[in-house]
Structure 1
Amino acid sequence: MAEDTNIVLKATEPVLGRIEVAPQVLEIVAGIAASNVEGVARMRGSLANSVNELFGKKERGKGVKLSLNGDALNVDVYVYLNYGVSVPKVALAIQEQVKQQLLFMTDLRISEVNVHIQGVIPEKTTSTVDPNNIFEDDESENGDDK
């Protein structure tokens, strides 16, 4: 969120005081919800997030931007997907999961959950070349030595 103001949760019952939630908390909730959807490889991060992760600090709120429009919350989620997944299905699952978790945990009205696909991460392939014998022919493996 651009401003660093807390979001006040409205209570339906008489309470002893106000309940305020920092925007970073909502970003973390949305980030965890999105990253737990099957097909999501990782969330988009910044250089600062990458440096923090090198030192062992996991940044949970990365890839999520919030904006408060009146009393409704707009959420933008930036993700990388695994290769071979259905982009529309995964994007819809992200929208639903983020909406459900934020509603369940904060009771805030969510007006939009925008999913931005930043890229596709290909599957890791294992090398078929033997590092001890890099010039070995495929024919010699089949027993067709000359």
Structure 2
Amino acid sequence: MSDNQVVKGNPQEQELGNITVSKEVVAIIAALETIKTEGVVGITGGYRSKSTNALSRKDLAKGVEVWMKTGEAAITIPIITAYEVGIFKVAEEVQRRVKDAVCSMTGLEVLKVNVNVQGIKFKEEIKKPRKEKKEKEEKQKETEK
């Protein structure tokens, strides 16, 4: 199956040309909507990576799997949630947000949004990397002076 799919209409009937959307674009939309969801700590590399570490912002879409056929898509997103949240509530919110965003931005009918919760993080684990990053930035500013 091609990585690009015709989104609207029959290619022979398009007056101005074809409209196509790549799987990567759908994956990026899905990933960005997912990380905006309250309770989601990150996206993992999925089952293939065998890692439950969150991907960096530039690699987010690599964990998202997209299956497409003309005008339709199915999406699987492996996530890490915060410990203090209701996992099913967060997963359902991810499903809703991703479906709405992909549909409105691409015109594709989203058949399924599968959410695989592959890990949870405690508050301490979430705050520690942020604190370390802030300290590193402060040191870098001091050396630049």
Which TM-score applies when normalising by structure 1? Answer: 0.70
- Corresponding residue for residue 5 of structure 2: 7
- Corresponding residue for residue 30 of structure 1: 30
- Deviation of 1:69 after TM superposition, in Å, equals 5.0
Asked whether the equivalents of residues 43 and 62 of structure 1 are also in contact (C-alpha less than 8 Å), the reply is no
- Deviation of 1:70 after TM superposition, in Å, equals 5.9
CA distance in 2, matches of 1:40, 1:98: 13
- Structure 2 counterpart SS, 1:124: helix
- Shift in CA distance, 105/5, structure 1 to aligned 2, threshold 3 Å: same
- The answer to whether residue 120 in structure 2 is matched with residue 120 in structure 1 is yes
CA distance in 2, matches of 1:20, 1:70: 10
Q: Deviations over 1:32-57 (max 9, x none)?
A: 0111100000000359xx8x95xxx7
CA distance in 2, matches of 1:95, 1:121: 20
Asked whether the equivalents of residues 41 and 80 of structure 2 are also in contact (C-alpha less than 8 Å), the reply is yes
- Unpaired runs of 5+ in structure 2? 128-145
Q: Deviations over 1:5-48 (max 9, x none)?
A: 3111114995400011111111000000111100000000359x
CA RMSD of aligned residues (A): 2.7
Which TM-score applies when normalising by structure 2? Answer: 0.71
CA distance in 2, matches of 1:19, 1:32: 22
- Corresponding residue for residue 93 of structure 1: 93
Q: Which is further off, 71-80 or 99-108?
A: 71-80
- Greater Cα radius of gyration, structure 1 or 2: 1
CA distance in 1, matches of 2:123, 2:79: 16
Moved over 6 A (4+): none
CA distance in 2, matches of 1:10, 1:70: 9
- Deviation of 1:98 after TM superposition, in Å, equals 0.2
Q: Which is further off, 68-77 or 27-36?
A: 68-77
Asked whether the equivalents of residues 6 and 70 of structure 2 are also in contact (C-alpha less than 8 Å), the reply is no
- Corresponding residue for residue 84 of structure 1: 84
